[in-house]
A and B are shown apart, each in its own frame.
Chain A
Amino acid sequence: MAAPISDPDTWLPLTPAVFHIALALADSERHGYGIMQEVATRTAGQMRLGPGTLYGTIKRMLADGLIAESDERPDPALDDERRRYYRLTDLGRRVAAAEARRLARLVGVAQDKRLLPAGDTL
């Protein structure tokens, strides 16, 4: 595996699947189904990751060093030990933040062109 590229801007733009997975992992470690649920809930069902999209993207994000498999396990009584948990790496966090800034700038452009009312982010 090649060494990860440390400049976050070189990764941009992220695909929707990569950005949504990064967002899902930004506040806590999650397993595959947890990521899927978080994305579906946050987008009100508009973005639904199938198992193939989910694990294909996870494979590439692992290879790129954006996420890592977590060594820590939650309470075994509360969880199925067969599940694999994933966490965002420092690089993944910086890349996700850079993508968020890029999208925010785009929203700013849309507001300047009156495609979106100022202050409206929805």
Chain B
Amino acid sequence: MSRRTWPAALSVGVYQHLLRVYPTAFRQHYGRPMAHVFQDCCRAAYRRHGGWGLLLLWNHTLRDLVATGTHERLNAWREGNHFMSTPARIHQLWPLSVALILALVVTYVNLHVDETGIIALPIILAAAVLGFVRPRGAILWGLLLGAGIPLGQAWAAATGLQLPYPNSWADVRATLTVPVVPLLAALLGAGTRWITTRLTADGG
């Protein structure tokens, strides 16, 4: 990279990172040619108009990126829904099922202070296991499992189920902060998976 062309090279590097706005499948197939085309555009714009040419190109490219990135994401989401009926996709729904079942358990188990740990333990363990098995969805599963606790209690209150907990503002605050614990557990599981993978790869 010469001193004269570094702005163009920098632009290409930034654009390659921005390609993450596209769905993985699209990026895997078209990411390289798109970066290649953008590189050609950068060189041409910089050769003709210098830095101003690059700015104009970025103005056009960013609008293109946002519009088409959103479009491709929506397409991928629609196609994902279409394939929801396949066994492979159903298999991916099981962590969500675990989260919903635990939320129902939290709702209908008559919680007492000394039993909280009994309920909390499977939730935290489930979050850690889900984080380990599906590290890319760790935050989602952690939040889903954590959200099950206050949602369950809200549901119970709405349906008239008498729960001994929460019965004070401190309990309410505790209930709202409890979802953080499964989230941390899920991230711990994902971190463990990452370390295990790295160690296995280094060992192999």
Contact = CB atoms under 8 A, between A and B. Distances in A.
Interface of A: 32-33, 36, 48, 50-56, 58-59, 80, 82-84
B65 A52 contact: yes
A53 B38 CA distance: 12
B38 A51 contact: yes
Given A33-B40, A56-B71, A56-B72, A51 B34 contact: yes
Interface stretch (B24-32, B85-93, B97-105, B137-145): B24-32
Nearest to A58: B30
B26 A59 contact: yes
B152 to A, nearest CB: 43
Q: Count chain B CB atoms within 10 A of each CB in A33, A52, A80 and give the residue with the most.
A: A52
A82 B34 contact: no
Contacts of B69: 52
Given A32-B37, A53-B68, A56-B26, 17 more contacts: A33-B41, A36-B37, A48-B60, A50-B60, A50-B63, A50-B68, A51-B35, A51-B37, A52-B65, A52-B67, A52-B69, A53-B67, A54-B37, A55-B30, A56-B68, A59-B29, A59-B30
Dominant SS among interface residues on chain A: helix
Interface in B18-75: 22, 26, 29-30, 32-38, 40-41, 60-61, 63-65, 67-69, 71-72
Interface of B: 22, 26, 29-30, 32-38, 40-41, 60-61, 63-65, 67-69, 71-72
Nearest to B15: A51
A102 B32 CA distance: 36
A52 B21 CA distance: 11
Contacts of B41: 33, 36, 51
A54 B26 CA distance: 13
A48 B35 CA distance: 17
B26 A83 contact: no
A34 to B, nearest CB: 9
